[in-house]
Amino acid sequence: MERFLNIVRSNNLVQAVLCIAFGLFLMVYPSITIHGIIMLFGVAMTLMGVGSLASYFRQRSARYHDMGMLMTGVFYLIVAAIAFIFPKALASFFSVVLGLVLILCAIVNLVRAFDLRRYGSGVWIAVLAAALLVGVGGVLVVVNPFGATMTFVLVLGGVFVLNSEW
């Protein structure tokens, strides 16, 4: 039993060291991290595209080729090419989509806050404050998408460092 506890303790120590190292890497090199994630996304899209095309061309009957498989493979390869050629633009695109979703959520929560006020609930002010905060965050993400992504990676790194348990 004592041996098992020693293994668990050493495992926790290794996890804590890895969390701190990974968190510091994210905080020091956020742009490299974002670029690496986009490149991994591009590699995944390339593999899926090549797999779809291989499946299309392996079909024996020329009469029954699946055109959907061909179109899917070409689509994946186009997305992969965009990821490899324009990684910053792709990261910004995902950030803009996130910003628009945040703005939409803020609008929905704003309406909910006024509904809660109309029904006499006391929490409508907290819901309104949260909706305004989320809305401002969404607008900031839309205005500066790559900067918002960098800030997210920095915060994520800080969370990894703070979350590590010695």
Structure-token match 């050493």, residue found: 10
Helices (H) and strands (E) in the chain, counts: 6, 0
Is residue 5 packed enough to be buried (19+ CB in 10 Å), middle (13-18) or exposed (0-12)?
A: exposed
* pLDDT at position 80 over 90: yes
**Worst-scoring range by mean pLDDT, 9-13, 105-109, 121-125, 159-163?**
9-13
For the chain, the average pLDDT equals: 83
The Cα-based distances of 92 to 84, 87, 98, 152 in angstroms read 14, 9, 10, 12
**Whether 126 contacts 112, CB under 8 Å:** no
Give the pLDDT of residue 34: 81
Q: Is 0.75 surpassed by the pTM of this model?
A: no
Residue 94: pLDDT band (50, 70, 90) is: confident
Distance CA 115, CA 119 (A): 6
Q: Among 5-9, 56-60, 86-90, 146-150, name the one with the lowest average pLDDT.
A: 5-9
Instruction: State both tokens at 140.
Output: 């900031």
pLDDT digits (tens, 9 = 90+) for 11-60: 667 777 777 787 788 778 877 888 888 899 999 999 999 998 988 888 87
Does the pLDDT at position 10 exceed 60? yes
Q: Torsions phi, psi of 56, nearest 5? A: -65, -45
Residue 165 sits at the vertex; the CA angle it makes with 155 and 23, to the nearest 5 degrees, is 30
